[in-house]
Amino acid sequence: MKKVVKFGGSSLASAEQFKKVGDIIRADEARRYVVPSAPGKRFSGDTKVTDMLYDCYATAESGKAFKTKLGKIKERYDEIIAGLGLDLDLSKEFEVIEKNFSAKAGSDYAASRGEYLNGIIMAKYLGYEFLDSAEYIFFAHDGSFNAEKTYDILGDKLKNVERAVIPGFYGAYDDGTVKTFSRGGSDVTGSIVARSVRADLYENWTDVSGFLIADPRVIENPEVIETITYQELRELAYMGATVLHEDATFPLRKEGIPINIKNTNKPEDKGTLIVGNTCAKPKYTITGIAGKKGFCAVNIEKDMMNSEIGFGRKVLQAFEDSGISFEHVPSGIDTMTVFVHQSDFEEHEQQVLADIHRLAQPDSIDLASDLALIAVVGRGMKSTRGTAGRIFSSLAHAHVNVRMIDQGSSELNIIIGVSNADFDKAIKAIYDIFVTVQL
Ligand code: ASP
């Protein structure tokens, strides 16, 4: 049994947190490959080491004195080392970092030092081998992740290493120049390591007990999702639910390696299991609800639109020409509506409207702004009659006017457009009908 375990910044923010992590790893022999983030916030208002590094490097790059800032970063690590009682001195490492900052090694290099140094501490603390991700995780010339080379080299290496710490967030180009993933990218490293060793499970340890059915800012104490498929997760994440980096599922989806989101501060909680497929019956008909505000609907009408081949393409061309991506395109017989992010659209509004007129010659165009989209997602909807009926009657009871309905043929997702002002009310109504008042 092989497990890859990734720990987020808040799980490694202090010696006290490190000790919890150590206990978790030692509690299960299968936890052989450890991917740490950089130390995160110890308390609200604290600064993540990654942010301190970006800031320190910006100072260095502008030619100003940066030693005090670097010293503050070293203090964060020294505090952890002392708290763990380790015989470890990072002074030499910091000398190298200082030299490289002066030589303007780049902000990716700078930010990557957060996980690099934490990895050294973690390896020492656990007695695991330390592997520098710059030597095992690769990027192609165009900046994309080089999966083939990485899986070859890292997979080969780990065949011969029983237990290792592989820092998250970064890798390198072929010439050794360090590059990071986007923010929160240690999640991605964890997936890559899990894929490379063909792990049985990728445990992603954070400070929440999994994905919640709805946003806790809208629903008080929402329940945790026990099991979710990759596909459902993608739908919810797209609509704004975040816990895991978006790119973290891609290396694992095809391999059938599940991810378990776990809480370092409550390891006994089961967390959320993310799987490719499951016949486990979902607890509720819906798996989750997520949504975003700030959309605008461009409603286009033209008589006989349904028989005009190419009409849709011409309309969408107008958006493409202004570099605007569309979110949804529900259509009727003689109408077609394009949902776009209001903030993207506003700037190009007149240009897009003129282009639609020129390209598609519609009878009329009508705009509606300040709309929200809510996605009700669940594999359980497919086999359950009346899901849509329950959603819409709950909304009617809550006096929410539905402005748009879009159900994909996969029956995994029903998307509802409401006005921004009705957003919270609508989510509460849907949550209540499926979760609170379990039928
Ligand atoms: N430390 C990096 C960040 O703050 C990467 C990570 O934590 O996953 O974005």
pLDDT at 242: 76
Q: Note the helical H segments in 85-229.
A: 91-102, 107-126, 147-159, 186-196
Ligand 1 atom having least distance to the Cα of 114: 1
Out of 48, 50, 108, mutate this one to test ligand 1's pocket (max ligand atoms within 8 Å of CB): namely 50
pLDDT at 438: 62
The CA distance from 291 to 269, in Å, is 26
Ligand 1 atom having least distance to the Cα of 8: 7
Taking CB atoms and a 6 Å cutoff, what residues make up the pocket around ligand 1? 9, 37-38, 48, 50, 114, 168-169, 183-187
Ligand 1, atom 6, lies closest to the CA of: 184
Ligand 1 centroid to residue 199 C-alpha, Å: 23
DSSP-assigned letter for residue 212: B
pLDDT at 151: 96
Ligand 1 centroid to residue 36 C-alpha, Å: 9
pLDDT at 422: 97
Out of 5, 6, 37, mutate this one to test ligand 1's pocket (max ligand atoms within 8 Å of CB): namely 37
The CA distance from 115 to 167, in Å, is 5
Phi, psi (degrees; rounded to nearest 5) at 229: -90, 160
| 3 state DSSP class of 417 | strand
The CA distance from 204 to 193, in Å, is 12
The CA distance from 65 to 384, in Å, is 64
Ligand 1, atom 5, lies closest to the CA of: 184
Ligand 1, atom 2, lies closest to the CA of: 184
pLDDT at 237: 81
| 3 state DSSP class of 259 | strand
Structure tokens at 424: 């919270």
Per-residue pLDDT of the chain (439 residues; tens, 9 = 90+): 999 999 999 999 999 999 999 999 999 999 999 999 999 999 999 999 999 999 999 999 999 999 999 999 999 999 999 999 999 999 999 999 999 999 999 999 999 999 999 999 999 999 999 999 999 999 999 999 999 999 999 999 999 999 999 999 999 999 999 999 999 999 999 999 999 999 999 999 999 999 999 998 899 999 999 999 988 888 888 776 678 888 888 889 888 899 999 999 999 999 999 998 888 778 898 999 999 999 999 999 999 888 889 999 999 999 999 999 998 898 888 999 999 999 999 999 999 999 999 999 999 999 999 999 999 999 888 878 888 899 999 999 999 999 888 887 677 889 999 999 999 999 999 999 999 986 4
Out of 108, 183, 187, 192, mutate this one to test ligand 1's pocket (max ligand atoms within 8 Å of CB): namely 183
Ligand 1 atom having least distance to the Cα of 183: 9
pLDDT at 136: 98
Q: Which pairs from 214-223 meet CB under 8 Å and 24+ separation?
A: 214/288, 214/289, 214/290, 214/427, 214/431, 215/240, 215/241, 215/290, 215/291, 215/427, 218/423, 218/424, 218/427, 218/428, 219/427, 219/428, 219/431, 222/431, 222/435, 223/435
pTM: 0.87
* Inter-residue contact 196 to 242 (CB < 8 Å): no
Ligand 1 atom having least distance to the Cα of 9: 7
Ligand 1 centroid to residue 163 C-alpha, Å: 23
Q: Tokens 């975003």 — which residue?
A: 292
Ligand 1 centroid to residue 374 C-alpha, Å: 28
